[in-house]
Each structure stands twice: as C-alpha cells, then as structure tokens.
Structure 1
C-alpha cells in the first residue's frame, strides 16, 4: 500500500485512570499500569544517548471523553500514553524529569468534566491536557492555576477560552478548505456542492464553511443525507451533487460514508475535484475503495512517503495497544494525540526557564512554539477574535494514480484569507 501520513511512559511512568464520581463520593483512581502498557514498557529500548529522566515527575493531567456512545475517543489517551513512553524512553523526559500522566475519562456531561477538573486540581498536576472534552471546566483549572493545552477547539466558546489549542478545529479546517477551492492561488473554483450528514457535528462545521465560501465568492448547494446511508443512498447524494453542476465537491462523512461516496463518484464518472477530511484517508477506507480515491483532496494531510516520525508513532502505539505497527492507522485522533503531546514537549525542550506548566504556557502564548509534525510556527493569540487558537494554516494531500501526494506544491493553506470577524 502507498504510504500515507498526516499532519495532528517509560521509565518512571504512572498512568492513573479517574472515573466519574457518584454524588457524595470522591473520584477514585487506579494508579497501576494498564496490562498492555505494563507488558510493553520493559520491551522499549532507549534508542538515543540522552540520559534517562530522573527526579520529581512532571505531571500532566489528561481529560478525554471515553466510554460514552457517540462521544468515545480512546485513541487520544492511547496516543498520549504512547507519546509519553517515547518521551521518557528516547527524549530524556520533560527537562530531564520523567513525564507522568494522570488520565481522567469524562462521560460527555458537564458534571463529569467538572469532576475530572476538580480531581486533577486536587492532585496538583503541572498542566491539564485536553484530548476531546465537550465541557472543559476552564474556570476550575484557572482557579487552581493550572494551564490548559488542548488539541481541537470544539465549540465557539473554546476559541476564546483561557487555554491554548495547538491545532485548527473546524473553523480553520473549513475555512482553509474553502480557500483551497476558491482562491486563484490554488484551484480558483466558484461552484461547490456540499454533501453533508444531518448531524450536530456537521451543522457546526457548516457554520464555518458557508461564510468562508461566500467570502471567497463561491455559489454553493448543501445536499443533506442521513448520518448513515445505504450504497444506493450515497449514490443518490452524489447524483444530487452532480445535478448542481459543481466545479468542486465537499463531503462531510467518515468511514462507511467515505467509502460509499467515493465509489459513487467513480461509478458516476464525476471527475471534479472533491474534498474530504483525513477520516476518509484511513487504511480501512482506502483499502475498500482503491482507485476510486483518485481525484480526492484531504484536508490536514500532507502526503508523500511515510516519515520516520510516523513509523515511530506506529511502533509506540503498537506497544501500548498490543498490536503490530502495521495495524496502526496513521490518521485520525491517534496521530493528532501523538502530535499534541510531542508539540508540548518540543516547546518545553526550548524553554529558557525552569520547566513548569506556566513556563510552557507562556512560551506558547508568546509565539515561541512550533508544531511537532510540520515545524509550522504556532501563532497563539495572533488573531484577537480567536485568542486560544495557535494554528491557522493546514496542508492538503491529493490522491493520484501513484498514491497520496502533497497538494498545491506542499503549501500550507491559510484560513485567514476567507475568515471574516
């Protein structure tokens, strides 16, 4: 299979798993290592000459949504554990100190998010790291003096929260997609059909895409489908899109929806440029559709041969999960979680002050951070209307007969050209 890659623990590691407390009870914690992680730790050999971390651990409290149907993102926690293993085993820890994670799983409710924040504050963690949490308890962390660094801003309030979000979120992804389509620097296309699942997540994405398309001077039509469809249903959606006579197509589906729509586009002989998220670039999708992926652009993916970092990520995630490296998908939240923690490490490694949560937070906010995967500068707070957002441009990949390649000459496409504040 052609290489595809995107964007995004351990000597001395302790992983604690918090559970949502019942009313009147404190959150409990299991401080033992999960079986897969414990069994893999001894097998990790130090591959560098950096000294092993020693001394007092640097403790990051993790909040992530897990175990709730529809809002279940364990890939983040898995990636964090794998990245922490790598940091402690090969990168010398955080400032020479062993990295320790305390992972608290929320249940997609404000109460459980608040309980996690209170528990982590009581433990005195150095920093809070958000995987995906719908109800981040910013006030609790702020009161405890704990800086918050997240991966993806979800709701409008996250964009102005007292936090740092190192990646784009829907606002930047959708605006950059619009820019890639409408700008004369890229495709210069002005008639767009959008195939959208009728879901809350898609509705949120459309609130950013639609004004960006308008700002770029595009006409567009929204074709709504169910959250899941039959093969015939996906074909009908693609036929409706084609009836608009578009010069470009955007789809808001993942997994089975990606497969159905890619196949339908190929079967119907539609050859206009088509755009999807990296969810449609996963191994399970590409293996299913084969050459039907040709002609598709993927927002947030860079394409080209697999990088050394991607191989390292798959190695460590495989050890944490008990799988083989070739079984690890290089896209989605696993890759993003890996990039998130290693971006924080990268900023910490370049501090000119003693290691600490506030020092790392200040470095992000003063524009001294760079993204782990691409080395793109992180411009946290550079847009006053979006003070928590650090990254305003993303790469795109394009699927050709030779496999996945960088789109637009490898350029990072900015969202700011078509964002209106």
Structure 2
C-alpha cells in the first residue's frame, strides 16, 4: 500500500490568514463566524491515543509531553482530526521503571485507546505483552529500549533505531580520522546494553575505541565526568543520550572550562546552544528529524513544517527541545498516515496494518518511511548529523540524510 500525505488546512501564510479572518469577521455576523469555526472542528467520537510520558522520576524528558500535546492540537486544528474525528490524548507518567510502564499499559487497556505513543520510554518492553493482548499497537520515534527495538510484533517506529544514530556519528568521526570516543550516559541497564553490545563492536569495526562513562540519574557529578574525559583525552567526548537539557549544558561548559580540545558530542541536545553560546561552537549533535536551527538548510516543504511545529509548540508552552519536535513529528505522522488510508476503521489491528503498509511515505519533519520490515520495527535507518557553527546554527555534516552502513546494522537485532 502506497500512501501519500493528506494536505493540511494551512493553505495561506499566517499574516494573510489573519487578514482574511478579520475581513470575514467585519463582513459577516457573529453567528456566521461561529458556525464557520464550528464547521472546521472534527466531529464524532474521539480517537483515544495513549502516551507513555517520561515526566516523572530522575530520568525525565518534559519535552515529550509538550510535543505530544502540541501534535494533537495540530492534528485537530490543521488536519481536522483523523478521518474527521478529534484526537484525545490519554497521558500516563512513567519514571524509567518497568513498574510505571506496566501501570500505564494497563491504564491504556482499561481506557480502550487505539494506539499508544512510546514517548522514548527506556522500559517500553515491559508493556509489550499487555498492549499486544489488548490489541493496542505501540507507535514511536526512536526505540530507547533495545529489547523493544529488537522485535517487530505489534510496534512501529518512525525513526531509525537508536544504534543507527550512533553508528552514523561513528562513521563520520571515522572519516575525520578520530580513533577514540568516550560516550557519557545515565547509569541504567539500557545504556550499558547499547555501549557493550552495539557501540563497542561497531567502533572496533570502524577502527575507533569506544568507552562508556556513566552518571547517576538522580545525583550526577558532571565536574567528575568532565575531569575524566579531560584526563583520558579521547578524540571525541560527549553524551550518548540525555533527555534533560541541563545535562548537555553542564557537560559542555565543564569540558570547555577544563580546556578539553577534542570534539564535544552532545547527542540530540539543542538547548546548550542558547544556554552556553560561548562554548557551543564546534559541537556535534545527531537528530531523527530537521531542527529549527537547521531550517536554512532544509527543503522548502520541511521549512514550512518547522514553522508550523514551532508555532504549535510555542502555543503549548514548556520545553521546546529535540524531544518536543520529535514527539510532535511522530504524532503528526501517525495522523497523516491514517488520514491517507481509505480505511476509516480506527481500531488497533487496522491502525497497525495501515502503518505496516506504508511505503515511501513522507514523514513530518523526517525522511520517507517504508514500514513493515520482517526483522525491524523501524521504518527508516536514516539520520542527520549537525555541526554547530559560531552563530549557533546547525548545519548538516553531509548536507542530507546519512544512511548507516547496512552490513554493520545487519549485525544488530532489530536494526535492519
């Protein structure tokens, strides 16, 4: 099945739209305006979609909830909902433990949601059996739980597997002649698995020595971490992943203050560019999607999407980080894929079949998606790597999407 995106209702620039609305208000009665506004709203029974929201505990990511809510607002106001039915977000807080993930999965089953958004959940595998039994597909961006990303049953992920981002970055570092990389991450099982089972062997294949350096999610000591990187002096030192933007800023500032001259890798962080502008230049970061700071380098249609996303996130308020834009993109892509399908049966099995059938489908802010792979739940392996310039802009290292080496991805369960 080849599906194409349904056009949004945003057909004119913002200023022109405002002018037209003011003109209509001046020429018509208030009742006419109210009727017209009501006609633009989706009707019918709500489409209930769950969200594993990592908003609790020490390893939280507040941008996920911001992006999901902004995405739902965008879907309802600009797309007319899903098949003209409004989307209702059923959010449930997780704290990085299997217990909260299981509790949320049970809540979604009781509330009869038709799909559950993964929310970059590091313990999402704990929910799989419950969701599968209830017929609720798991839909996400990057699978942060390696066990979830290694299987295909009842799940679809619109971004590349986690390994692809770091493999792509390691490829670029190898091409630049880098021989050693130290990656900092929260001290949780998922990050140890990624370093030991994926990144070390991949690095060895590329001629790079990869080491992991771990911090306590509840009581991190970034001065000690920065000192260790400075003392061991790898060619590249930085973060594997960091949902809390302050982690990036503290580490970047600490490394620069200690005089570390290697490449600072900031994973998917973006806030440090504003919070530590003097130290930000020369940093490198990866992404599953285009970012506002890279808008000048993005295709024209993506530039328009970035404007829409920035407006939606701004109206929602809160954290406007990588995770906010990523989760908005996942939410919008899910709705656009379902709207592009002629089958309006919005139940779990039908939604899963529709998503598995996507071929060369243009995602919101991301690459084209072809889903339904026999060995991977991910619809793409492509990623972007950016360098931060002196003005704080992020320029794609290759100018376009990077495809990690297929022969290396093939060695990682669920990555190809």
TM-score, normalising length from structure 1? 0.73
Q: Secondary structure at the match of 1:414?
A: coil
Q: 1:61 aligns with which of 50, 54, 73?
A: 50
Matched residue, 1:117:
105
Matched residue, 2:63:
75
1:363 aligns with 2:354: yes
Query: Aligned partners of 1:49 and 1:271: how far apart in 2?
Result: 59
Contact 1:88–1:98 (8 Å) recurs in 2: yes
Q: Secondary structure at the match of 2:285?
A: strand
Q: Deviations over 1:367-419 (max 9, x none)?
A: 33432112x1223343x44x222231111111112332322232212234433
TM-score, normalising length from structure 2? 0.74
Contact 1:366–1:380 (8 Å) recurs in 2: yes
1:401 aligns with 2:393: no
Q: 2:165 aligns with which of 136, 158, 173?
A: 173
Q: If each structure's helix is expressed as a fraction of its own residues, which one has the higher value?
A: 2
Matched residue, 1:378:
369
Please state how far the C-alpha of 1:317 moved relative to its aligned partner: 3.2
Query: Aligned partners of 2:158 and 2:206: how far apart in 1?
Result: 26
Q: 1:237 aligns with which of 224, 228, 232?
A: 228
Contact 1:223–1:241 (8 Å) recurs in 2: no
Query: Aligned partners of 1:181 and 1:236: how far apart in 2?
Result: 22
Please state how far the C-alpha of 1:345 moved relative to its aligned partner: 1.3
Matched residue, 1:164:
156
Q: Secondary structure at the match of 1:409?
A: coil
Query: Aligned partners of 1:65 and 1:224: how far apart in 2?
Result: 20
Query: Aligned partners of 2:159 and 2:252: how far apart in 1?
Result: 27
Query: Aligned partners of 1:109 and 1:150: how far apart in 2?
Result: 18
Contact 2:48–2:89 (8 Å) recurs in 1: yes
Query: Aligned partners of 2:250 and 2:63: how far apart in 1?
Result: 24
Gaps of 5+ in 1: 1-44, 322-327
Q: 2:308 aligns with which of 305, 312, 323?
A: 312
Matched residue, 1:28:
none
Gaps of 5+ in 2: 1-33, 297-302
Q: Deviations over 1:305-344 (max 9, x none)?
A: 37443443343334334xxxxxx54323212211110110
Matched residue, 2:16:
none
Matched residue, 1:203:
192
**Cα 1:274/1:353, change in 2 over 3 Å:** same
Q: Secondary structure at the match of 2:278?
A: helix
Q: Deviations over 1:110-143 (max 9, x none)?
A: 4443343333223332222222442442222222
Please state how far the C-alpha of 1:270 moved relative to its aligned partner: 5.1
**Cα 1:47/1:127, change in 2 over 3 Å:** farther
Q: 1:154 aligns with which of 116, 122, 144?
A: 144
Matched residue, 1:392:
381
* Number of positions where the alignment pairs a residue of Structure 1 with one of Structure 2: 356
Query: Aligned partners of 1:64 and 1:211: how far apart in 2?
Result: 32
**Cα 1:330/1:416, change in 2 over 3 Å:** farther
Moved more, 154-163 or 109-118: 109-118
Contact 1:94–1:355 (8 Å) recurs in 2: no
Matched residue, 1:411:
400
Query: Aligned partners of 1:158 and 1:52: how far apart in 2?
Result: 36
1:294 aligns with 2:281: yes
Query: Aligned partners of 2:362 and 2:315: how far apart in 1?
Result: 27
Matched residue, 1:102:
90
**Cα 1:85/1:229, change in 2 over 3 Å:** same
- 1:32-47 pair list within 5 angstroms: none
Matched residue, 1:341:
331
**Cα 1:100/1:251, change in 2 over 3 Å:** closer
Q: 1:212 aligns with which of 202, 214, 219?
A: 202
Provide the aligned C-alpha RMSD in A: 3.3
